[in-house]
Amino acid sequence: MSHLSSLATAADPRPVAGPSSWDQARQLAHAAGQAAAMPVTRLPLARCAGLTLAAPLAAQGNLPAFRTCCMDGWAVRGPGPWRVVGQVLAGASPAALTVDGTAVQVATGAPVPTGATAILRAEDGVLVDDRVHGAPRTRPEWREIGEETRVGELLLPAGVEVTPAVLGLAAASGHDDLPVRPAPSAAVLVFGDELLAAGPPAGGRIRDALGPSVPAWLRWLGARPDQPPQPLPDTFDGHVAALEGALTRADLVCATGGTMRGPADQLRPALLELGAELVVDCVAVRPGHPMLLARLLGPAGMVRFVAGLPGNPQAAVAALVTLVAPLLAGLRGRPLPAARRAALGAPVPGRLGGTALLPVRYDEDGLVRPLPHTGPAMLRGLAEADGYAVLRPGAGTDIGDTVPVLPLPGDGR
Ligand SMILES: Nc1nc2c(c(=O)[nH]1)N[C@H]1C(S)=C(S)[C@@H](COP(=O)(O)OP(=O)(O)OC[C@H]3O[C@@H](n4cnc5c(N)ncnc54)[C@H](O)[C@@H]3O)O[C@H]1N2
Ligand code: MOO
């Protein structure tokens, strides 16, 4: 008897019966993630990189906080030459310059003394005895208080990634910690009696291509995967036990293989046994049409997700970009991942109905070209790809037609 309970009352958004269109599937996955978004927590800056800012970022202080010298040289008052009466380094609190014809030596980053009328750069001045001679440049060589931001000013909206630049800005404007949505935890379960965990394919068995790669895809998509998976046998009981175990420790479980309805395919029966609700059940996309997204309640009453990734390796990746990327974006408080548009540099060969995800590479003119070796069971083309061109039903597929392109890891290499 399972100790996971079903989600009869928490049905937002409503799942659809039968295959979804590719766009519908992404929206359903994203909305399901948003409805179960990771709780906001406050973390020190050192632990915020890559997470999502959960509230607008406002400046805690003026930037700069004081009139700041931009050049090494002298802060001077009135017309020259100037008698040098002292020195001001960064971090100091200088006395005012009160007498015309006087100067203090200043360092970049030092507060400009009140009363200074200009900065004379070190390379523009000549010191003779205790007097400095030269001509200050016409543009002020300091940054004014609040020139970059005023205290309280909105710097960034909620929902953006805490990039290295955001971390630096937050620190510069006075923050020690930030409200963030943490990375969802993820577990990967790889099913298949035919799978070898090491060495080349032999004796009718093949090498597991997903155990070593799906955790890396999940990390790229902003999740926190646990230990590398070992292939598991294709039994019903094995599926139920492995899913139950993984759901106790992960917000998202990605299970590979067994998504069809063949004699060895146990994922759907196991999810049924666990009381899961299907948010998306098959998608009109190639490759990867048997992909699914299920939702259930974990032991602590937390909403958990299971993504069913088809066993064909490229079909599994198609499921990652179609269902898992939008789900994780929703869980992380981010918008639905956007595609850029690019023109086709070569025609796309004839295709069947539904949406096609086509691995493409940018050429030097910024056009995208389809790659060879891109069948559902192949990873060779994908390993060279910069992105997936999204060919919706009826999309133009001639040279010059523009198509959306979802970026893949390695884009811009
Ligand atoms: N009667 C039908 N059969 C199939 C259909 C269909 O429409 N009607 N669709 C095919 C498509 S398309 C796909 S995709 C697969 C999905 O199958 P499953 O998710 O049930 O996956 P498996 O049957 O377990 O495996 C499929 C294929 O992939 C290989 N595989 C599995 N796991 C791995 C792995 N970790 N690393 C490398 N390769 C893996 C497995 O050996 C099979 O060759 O169903 C088709 N069948
Ligand atoms: O869904 Mo399958 O990927 O077309 O091989």
Query: Mean pLDDT over residues 50-69, rounded?
Result: 97
The reply to whether 129 and 228 lie within a common domain is no
Nearest CA to 336 among 344, 348, 328, 345? 328
| Tally of domains in the chain | 4
Ligand 2 close to Cβ of residue 376 (< 6 A): yes
- pLDDT tens digit sequence for 238-287: 999 999 999 999 999 999 999 998 888 999 999 999 999 999 999 999 99
Taking the C-alpha atoms of residue 399 and residue 386, their distance in angstroms, rounded to an integer, is 18
Q: Is the ipTM of this complex over 0.95?
A: yes
What's the pLDDT band for 298 if we cut at 50, 70, 90? confident
pLDDT at 42 over 70: yes
Q: What is the largest CA-CA distance in the chain?
A: 96
Let me know if residue 1 belongs to a domain: no
Closest Cα to atom 4, ligand 2: which residue?
287
Per DSSP (E only), the strands in 176-251 are 177-181, 185-190, 195-196, 206-207, 224-225
pLDDT at 7 over 70: no
Nearest CA to 74 among 39, 101, 43, 46? 101
The reply to whether 58 and 90 lie within a common domain is no
Task: State which amino acid sits at residue 274.
Answer: L
DSSP code, position 80 = S
Ligand 2 close to Cβ of residue 50 (< 6 A): no
CATH code assigned at 402: 2.40.340.10
Let me know if residue 3 belongs to a domain: no
Taking the C-alpha atoms of residue 2 and residue 297, their distance in angstroms, rounded to an integer, is 11
Query: Mean pLDDT over residues 323-335, rounded?
Result: 98
Tokens 């046994």 sit at which residue?
A: 273
pLDDT at res. 268: 96
- pLDDT tens digit sequence for 144-169: 999 999 999 999 999 999 999 999 99
Taking the C-alpha atoms of residue 264 and residue 278, their distance in angstroms, rounded to an integer, is 20
Let me know if residue 196 belongs to a domain: yes
CATH code assigned at 127: 2.170.190.11
The reply to whether 188 and 135 lie within a common domain is no
Joined tokens for residue 184: 């969802």
Q: At a CB cut-off of 8 Å and minimum separation 6, what does 42 contact? A: 177, 178, 179, 180
User: Given 304, 331, 358, which residue is the final one in a domain?
Assistant: 331
The reply to whether 85 and 136 lie within a common domain is yes
Ligand nearest to the CA of residue 257, numbered in listed order: 1
CATH code assigned at 213: 3.40.980.10
Query: Mean pLDDT over residues 307-335, rounded?
Result: 98
Let me know if residue 7 belongs to a domain: no
Taking the C-alpha atoms of residue 27 and residue 38, their distance in angstroms, rounded to an integer, is 18
pLDDT at 70 over 70: yes
What's the pLDDT band for 135 if we cut at 50, 70, 90? very high
Are the C-beta atoms of residues 363 and 345 closer than 8 Å to each other? yes
377 C-alpha to center of ligand 2: Å?
8
The reply to whether 108 and 124 lie within a common domain is yes
pLDDT at res. 97: 97
Backbone angles phi, psi at 7, to 5 degrees: -110, 50
Let me know if residue 4 belongs to a domain: no
Query: What pTM was computed for the model?
Result: 0.91
Tokens 């037609």 sit at which residue?
A: 401
By most ligand atoms within 8 Å of CB, the mutation choice from 256, 289, 309, 322 for ligand 2 is: 289
By most ligand atoms within 8 Å of CB, the mutation choice from 260, 266, 282, 352 for ligand 1 is: 260
The reply to whether 294 and 361 lie within a common domain is no
The reply to whether 221 and 119 lie within a common domain is no
Nearest ligand 1 atom to alpha carbon 231: 35
pLDDT at 301 over 90: no
- pLDDT tens digit sequence for 358-400: 999 999 999 999 999 999 999 999 999 999 999 999 888 899 9
The reply to whether 226 and 266 lie within a common domain is yes
CATH code assigned at 152: 3.90.105.10
The reply to whether 187 and 306 lie within a common domain is yes
pLDDT at res. 10: 37
Taking the C-alpha atoms of residue 292 and residue 280, their distance in angstroms, rounded to an integer, is 5
Instruction: Look up the domain containing 108 and give its range.
Output: 68-143
What's the pLDDT band for 21 if we cut at 50, 70, 90? very high
Task: State which amino acid sits at residue 406.
Answer: L
H runs (alpha helix) in 254-376 = 267-273, 313-319, 325-331
> Rounded to whole angstroms, what are the CA distances from 26 to 30, 294, 318, 329, 408?
6, 14, 12, 11, 17
The reply to whether 201 and 176 lie within a common domain is no
Per DSSP (E only), the strands in 135-199 are 142-143, 154-156, 177-181, 185-190, 195-196
